[in-house]
Amino acid sequence: MSQSDSEKRPIEHVVLFKFKDISADYYASIQQQVRNMKDTMEGILEISFGKTFTTERSKGYTHGLRAKLINREYLPVYAMHDSHLKLVELFNSIRLEPPVALDWEYEFVV
């Protein structure tokens, strides 16, 4: 597959976090900020954020964020957008250690 074909494929952006304990209200405000990103940022097809319910296998990671973007060209747009930068600042204030992030292009979907 050529690079131009590759650049047309959607990508997944996944980030895993280890957060301090946060209140239900604080969690709800984060959820709302994540939802708002889809409405304010070009290139997001889907976005979600949540707390793990499988703590016995999460290796200390407590929360995850997943964004499906139109293609890899939108990753720097996403990374530098004001909505994302505000969320990063918020996450940095409650994280226990740096997050783990992965990005991949769709090879296939079944």
pLDDT at residue 108, rounded to an integer: 78
3-state secondary structure of 66: strand
pLDDT at residue 2, rounded to an integer: 47
Give the chain's domains with CATH numbers: 10-105 (3.30.70.100)
Q: What is the pLDDT along the chain (110 residues), one digit of tens a residue?
A: 445 665 689 999 999 999 999 999 999 999 999 999 999 999 999 999 999 999 999 999 999 999 999 999 999 999 999 999 999 999 999 999 999 999 999 987 77
Rounded Cα gap, residues 64 and 20, in angstroms:
14
pLDDT at residue 1, rounded to an integer: 41
